[in-house]
Every structure is written in structure tokens, then in C-alpha cells.
Copies of this chain bind each other. A is one copy, B any other.
Amino acid sequence: MPRVSEQYRTNRRGEIVVAAARLFAANGFHATSMADIIGASGLSAGAVYRYFRSKEELIGAVAEQALSAADETFALLLADGATPSPTDVLTAVLEAVSERIADHPVLGVDVTRIGVQVWAEALRSPELAARADEVYRRLRGYFSESARRWQAAGHLGADAVPEQVGAAMLGLVQGFVLQRLLVAGTDTEGYLAGVRALLGPAGDRPADPQVGT
């Protein structure tokens, strides 16, 4: 019965990822060992290593779970050739971060805490650095696509480079992730209000498009 076997494998794999995410969020990536993860998973070492050969592979699986929220958010924003404004995009993404990544429905932890630790580890681990580069290129690609459409609709100067605008938009989200964890009193609504005010009329759909300004 290959279907049952496949389902069994998917469930086991998911349980290991949840156990690892909890340990990473509580104790940090550095201080968590494969032995800790094996212990928390309730499975044998052989069973765990059958799915994941290293902590780096496990971090990759945790990142994929968190990124699926970002993938879905952008899939909705960009569906059917839509042209969301930078303010629309940043609102949806910042809300996804606080509702679906900082309080992950499947992993049950604040995945942004794991993300910040991976940033630090990536400075000394080429494998994690390659994964982080891949993740941020993917996210920047989504933001850039939204900027490209915003420009094509005449709302962004013709000399703007969508990839550069996408990098700045991603930067606003990364800054939010960090301030939410490290600066007391940071809340989603307040940060979003600041972003909206900073972008001003250029960041949102104007009454009359400011073409070429």
C-alpha cells in the first residue's frame, strides 16, 4: 500500500520538523544538537537521519514551512495580473509575518526568532549562507515583480529599477521582523502606519496617476 507508506513518511517528517523548530526557537540553532532533536522527536536516531542528515537540512525544512506563507501571500497579491501598490504589498506581507510566521499554525513557534538566529549563523556557515541567499532572492523576486507591474502601470518613475525597489521593500519587512523582536512596543499597526506615511502618495494608488514624476 504505497499511499499509506507515503502518508506515513510525510507525517513522520513533519513531526521531526516541528520538534526541531521548537528547539531552535527556544534554545537557538547553535545550542541545539541533532541528539536534542532526536530526543524531542521520540523517534530513533536512525529514523531521524533517514529524513534529515543535518541541522542545516532541518533549518531548510523550517524555512520552507515559513516561506509557504509568503508564497501564498504573493500568489494572492499577484493573481490574474493584478497591480497591487507598494503599500498594498507591504500591508499584506507585514500582516502575514505577524499572523502566520511569528505565530506559525503548524510549527507552533515564532519562526522569526529562528530566522534571526540563522542570519547570525549564516555569517560563518557557507551552507546556511547559501540557503539564506536563496530565500531572500526568492522574496526579493516577489517584491520586484510587484514593483515592475507598478511601474508598468505608470505609478513609478521610468528610471526606477524594479529589483532595487524590491530590495528596499524587503528591507522594510526585515527591519520590522527585527524591531518586533528587539524594540519593546513595536506593533504591526504602528509600523505599517509609519511605512504608509513614509511612502506617502507615491506608495499608493493615487487619484490621478503621477506618471513620470
Residues of B within 8 A of A184 (CB): 133
For the complex formed by this chain, how many copies does it contain in all? 2
Interface of A, helix, strand, loop or mixed by DSSP: helix
Interface size on A, residues (CB 8 A): 60
How far apart sit A186 and B133, CA to CA, in the bound complex (Å)? 11
A183 an interface residue at 8 Å Cβ cutoff? Answer: yes
* Stretch of A37-45, A50-58, A74-82, A157-165 that contacts chain B: A157-165
Residues of B within 8 A of A116 (CB): 119-120, 123
Q: Is the CB of A168 within 8 A of B174?
A: no
Which of B157, B175, B186, B200 is A172 in contact with, Cβ under 8 Å? Answer: B175
Q: Is the CB of A123 within 8 A of B113?
A: yes
